[in-house]
Amino acid sequence: MVEMQQSGRRTVQVPADVERAVEESVVHHLRTELAACGLLLTADALRQANAEAAQRGKALLAGLITRCYGIQPQGSAAVSFQFQSEEGRAHIQAALAFGATTAIVLAPFKDGTKQDFGRIELLCAIFNLGIGLVDSLCDEDSGIGMILLGFLDGEKLTECAEVPRQRGWLHSALPAALAGVAAVAFAADLIEVFFQELHTVYPGQHSLDRRRGIGAQLAAALVAERDSVSWLPDMSERERSLQSSRLTSVLPLQIIESLACGSITTDEKSAGTLLGEALWRVDDLVDLCQDARGGALNSLLLRALDDAPRSEKGHDPVPALERLLGSTDIAEAAAEAAECLVAGLGLGDGLQPAQRGSTIPEFLYFIQSYAGVPPAAGS
């Protein structure tokens, strides 16, 4: 993750020794717990999953560009795209691949073998990229993020899910200054194309209830994102902030599950919910120091702030980080993440990832590489 500063929040300097100790503790405990649950991939497995994810992401990017901008490949020739950097291209392809891989993992049939599942994969890929981009915009500049979120009220999202709209509906509503920001313009494209694809995959009156349910889930995710951006370290709002933190991870996975399964998922024990719980913990572990610097909502930090000293400027997250290092909270969060992964991936019966389905290692690759966890011993 790239370090970003939220507009309107002071930046806190985290001592280098504290940051190093936190990062080492997070990696150690995640590696220990993933290995104990049989979820830690070897170097060979990581390389293979990386290659498969890259191939999937490249194909999905071609589909995205075609749907966003109407560029069609000529015959067997690949479409050429220009990006500001190869890092930017790789990030977009990875986000697309993770959304599609998650859809396959959560599909009610093995490895997405249902006919025409490719359209659902692309739909989930676009959704994952879009929600990730909106989240990044909010992290980079909460002022811009909140303005964009203001144009995506729950009623509008529900209406877009119920009734098809012509492309340009969001672009035309944005102020010129905001629409001129490249990342915002791209986010608007993704949001418009997502709803266009939603009506293509689940068309007509017979799918109205399904789309309406997805619209309600999107509206709930919007509220959670807005609350997570505007949160304050007020202990009287602690439980609400913790719930917002959780929902920003859980709701996107529930939405992908709803899109992949064709039925609305709200079950607290569903595979999507469990994987969302795992990602919530992994995200907060990996982002501990970054969130401490920028004042972003982090459930582990919020819990540690309960007993941390309060200065005239507010709660200081550095003592909270030091308090975490002296507690079992990091180890417990890592263990909970691994347990949720086992349950969400259906590996509780003793099966190894490769036995559950060929896409499971690819899903684990994203988790392991994002967290910076070294591979398991062996080839």
Task: Output the DSSP codes for 130-177.
Answer: HHHHHHHHHHH-HHHHHHHHHTS-HHHHHHHHHS---TTTTGGGS-HH
Written as six digits, the tokens of 52 are 């498969």
**Longest pairwise C-alpha distance within the chain:** 66
pLDDT score recorded for residue 9: 55
Asked if the model's pLDDT at residue 111 lies above 50, the reply is no
Which of 69-73, 169-173, 334-338 has the weakest average pLDDT? 69-73
2: which DSSP letter?
-
Beta-bridge mates of residue 376: 42
Query: What band does 238 get if pLDDT is binned at 50, 70 and 90?
Result: confident
What is the structure's pLDDT at 310?
A: 55
Higher-pLDDT residue of 220 and 6 is 220
Distances (CA, A) of 88 to 64, 150, 286, 341: 15, 27, 21, 28
Q: What is the pLDDT of residue 379?
A: 56
Q: Residue 5: pLDDT band by 50, 70, 90 thresholds? A: very low
Q: What pLDDT, on the 0 to 100 scale, is given for residue 377? A: 83
Bridge partners for 42 per DSSP: 376
Share of residues in the chain with pLDDT > 70 (%):
85
Is the pLDDT reported for residue 300 higher than 80? yes
pLDDT band at residue 212 using 50, 70 and 90 as cut-offs: very high
The verdict on pTM exceeding 0.85 is yes
Determine how many CB atoms are found less than 10 A away from the CB of residue 365. Answer: 24
The pLDDT, as a whole number, for residue 150 is 83
Count Cα neighbours of 61 within 13 Å in the Cβ-side half-sphere: 20
Mean pLDDT for 45-64 is 95
Residue 214, pLDDT above cutoff 70: yes
